[in-house]
Amino acid sequence: SARRRLRAACEQIFICGFSAGGLLALRMAAREAAAGVIVLSPALRLRGGNLLQITGLLKHVMPWYYPLARANFADPAVRAAVLERAPEAQLDDPEVVAAIRREAKVPVGSLYELARLQRATSRELPRVRVPALIMQGRRDQTVEPRSAEMVARAIGSPDR
């Protein structure tokens, strides 16, 4: 397996992940021998993440979530967030705004799987006993800043 080859080739292995990958890295660190774990914006809690709590039901009746369907495109914060991801977007053009409202979508089934990953990771955090570097951007638009704090408090490693 790739893991076996990696262990044969490397003296130390650090597990690293970003966002949902950070949750996967934490779960792996709870189960596998490693020199440490590094997570960037671990997605334990998302901004506006209350929707995740009901995705198990929603996925059966609503295949897509449209996060910008009701967004106020006159709001400077909304405009900045959209332009950060699509700098060429002409947000003063009503047809462009209508297309963004219609086409910016996320599969609800994927959100459900993320919610499951969050719960599973939360249960395993006390078993993370390797040194951990946990980083979170203050201006992250997706992951709640408290997410990194929650991880730091819950892991079993004293070296964090």
Residues near 159 by Cβ (< 8 Å), separated by ≥ 6? 130, 131, 132
Cβ atoms of residues 15 and 133 within 8 Å: no
Residue 35 resides in a domain = yes
Token duo for residue 5: 């080859």
**Which residue segment(s) compose the domain that 136 sits in?**
2-48+121-154
Q: pLDDT by residue (tens digit) across 52-94?
A: 788 888 888 999 999 999 999 999 999 998 999 899 999 999 9
Whether residue 127 is contained in a domain is answered as yes
Residue 113 lies in a domain: no
Residue 106 has pLDDT above 80, yes or no: yes
Mean pLDDT score of the chain, rounded to an integer? Answer: 93
Q: Are 136 and 86 in contact (CB under 8 A)?
A: no
In a domain, 55, yes or no: no
Place of tokens 């189960």: 31
Q: What is the pTM of this model?
A: 0.84
Cβ count near 157 (within 10 Å): 17
Residue 11 in any domain: the answer is yes
Rounded to an integer, what is the distance from CA 83 to the centroid of its chain?
Answer: 20
pLDDT digits (tens, 9 = 90+) for 4-19: 899 899 999 999 999 9
Q: Is residue 24 part of a domain?
A: yes
Does residue 85 belong to any structural domain of this protein? no
Structural domain total, the chain: 1
Residue 114 domain flag: no
Q: What is the pLDDT of residue 122?
A: 97
